[in-house]
Amino acid sequence: MPVVPLDSPQAQFALLEAGAPVRTLPEETEEMKEPDSGVVSEAGEPGAEAIARHRLTAKQWTRFEAHAAEIFTALGMDLSTPSTQDTPRRFIRAMYDSTRGYEGDSKVLTVFPTECRGGADCKISQIIEGPIPFFALCEHHVLPFHGMAHIAYIAHEHIVGLSKLTRLVHMYARRFTVQERIGQEMADWMVEHLEPHGVAVHLEAAHLCTQMRGVHEERSRTVVSSWRGAYETDPALRQEFLSRVSGQR
């Protein structure tokens, strides 16, 4: 049995199993509610940004690791090997990294004016961007779904660059979510910030929660489209968009 630090997840779990009191479990004291960033932000470990996001304390973080260690051990993982001893910590960090969309993205807000300055006749033909790859976590199973996004809009007075649309996709995909919601949230963002004549969002994804567990056909894809403005009322416009984006991935 290798020597493990007393505050490591596996040591915490061993103490839990033995029925011993563990300093990080279970009640939250006033002291634990205080930010404790001096301990946790050092050299970025274990994720200064992530802790700032939810005002976690170092003790909460340790407790999260202990919970993860308990679950992984129950599932059959051996946490005493060099390869796995830091897995609970890496898992929590990976969860934070994968859900950074909750932190928003100030750089997505940059929009540019077009030549059009008002008037219903200054429509630009549809602008189609994509495919933009994305990864999200299914809120039902916390397993990834991933695929490609296409976004189209008919600009009025504002346009937005491709890099901003990539940021927009990431902002709404990097969360616990469902595919339909990503499309709706992206379309709503476009309407609110660009005030275009129309918006179309098309998302095609593979869901690991169905593929890994053998519920569905292994290569099945889920397709979701969201329409706003001219795309809701003009079937020909929808058809032009779909014919341009289908098969691109």
Whether the Cβ atoms of residue 44 and residue 2 lie closer than 8 Å to each other: no
Q: Which is nearer to Zn ion, 95 or 209 (CB)?
A: 209
Tell me the closest approach of the beta carbon of residue 206 to Zn ion, in angstroms.
12
User: What's the sign of the alpha-carbon dihedral 13, 19, 20, 23?
Assistant: positive
Q: Which residue, judged by CB position, is nearest to Zn ion in the bound state?
A: 209
Residues in region 51-80 near Zn ion by CB under 5 A: none
Q: Which stretch binds Zn ion (CB under 5 A): 57-65, 183-191, 205-213, 229-237?
A: 205-213
Whether the Cβ atoms of residue 131 and residue 248 lie closer than 8 Å to each other: yes
Task: Kindly tell me which residue out of 23, 55, 90, 140 binds Zn ion, with binding defined by CB under 5 A.
Answer: 140
Whether the Cβ atoms of residue 220 and residue 176 lie closer than 8 Å to each other: no
Task: Kindly tell me which residue out of 141, 146, 158, 244 binds Zn ion, with binding defined by CB under 5 A.
Answer: 141
Tell me the closest approach of the beta carbon of residue 244 to Zn ion, in angstroms.
30
Q: Which is nearer to Zn ion, 84 or 222 (CB)?
A: 222
> How many whole angstroms separate alpha carbon 71 and alpha carbon 74?
5
- For position 123 contacting Zn ion by CB under 5 A, the verdict is no
Classify each residue of 77-113 as buried b or exposed e, where b means 16 or more C-beta atoms within 10 Å of its C-beta. eebeeeebbbbbbebbbebbebbbbeeeeeebeebee
Residues in region 174-203 near Zn ion by CB under 5 A: none
Q: Which residues bind Zn ion (CB under 5 A)?
A: 138, 140-141, 209
